[in-house]
Structure 1
């Protein structure tokens, strides 16, 4: 960071934190939002180009969509902060050769409460799959 910026900000935000803030701002929009709108919601201490860079990274990660409007884009969230974390976890898992070992290690490190929640979520997902996405059940 340049010396002139040190007094303006006490610490530098990480990419993950910026992404979370941008997603949070987009989540409050009533429809697709411009980068300038997001910048304004974040308090204006970020450069417009930084906001566009973060939005573009989120687009690459499939966490936001963009639609051309005039010479620029408007952006919409596909995932909230939890969804973005899930995308990151999935990407890590997809890049590992031994998925079984990674999942086994992850599950064995869960707290009792998290393990209980995971079992509950898996049971719900299984029930939904058996009923079909629309909840009416489909013959297979």
Structure 2
């Protein structure tokens, strides 16, 4: 995800793939299935994500429980908007993307445009 480092992305994936708030210890256990990380490393990543506005935290007993501040789709759309805004030629970027889009992606874009037109 644009604006996130590799470990920050992994932590966000763990949160987005969960249906409930997660603690540092829970995410650490998940991440340590494929790598060896220290508790303090993951805690620092969560602190950074909180400071950047990617996660909300709530203290329960003696541990923070974290949830994403937005869905994965909303974060991706925000990143795409930032990319378009900074490109200097958003129309060109969109046209290049449209040419490379799969049939399923093209159908999804058409559905989204139809819904947009039908909004008041």
If the length of structure 2 is used for normalisation, what is the TM-score?
0.64
Relative contact order higher in (CA < 8 Å, ≥ 6 apart) = 2
What does 1:11-30 align with in structure 2 at a 5 Å threshold? 15-16=5-6, 18-27=7-16, 28=18, 30=20
Computed over aligned residues only, the root mean square deviation of the Cα atoms, in angstroms, reads 3.3
Structure ID, larger Rg = 1
Residue 41, structure 1, aligned to residue 41, structure 2: no
Q: Which runs of 5+ in 2 are unaligned?
A: none
| Alpha-carbon distance, 1:110 to partner | 1.3
Conserved? CA contact 1:23–1:77, under 8 Å: yes
Deviation track 1:56-86 (CA, whole Å, cap 9, x = no partner) reads 24762x4422346688743202344444433
Structure 1 or 2: more helix by fraction? 2
Conserved? CA contact 1:24–1:80, under 8 Å: no
Quote the residue 1:111 is aligned against: 102
**Corresponding residue pairs, total:** 113
Q: Which runs of 5+ in 1 are unaligned?
A: 1-14, 131-140
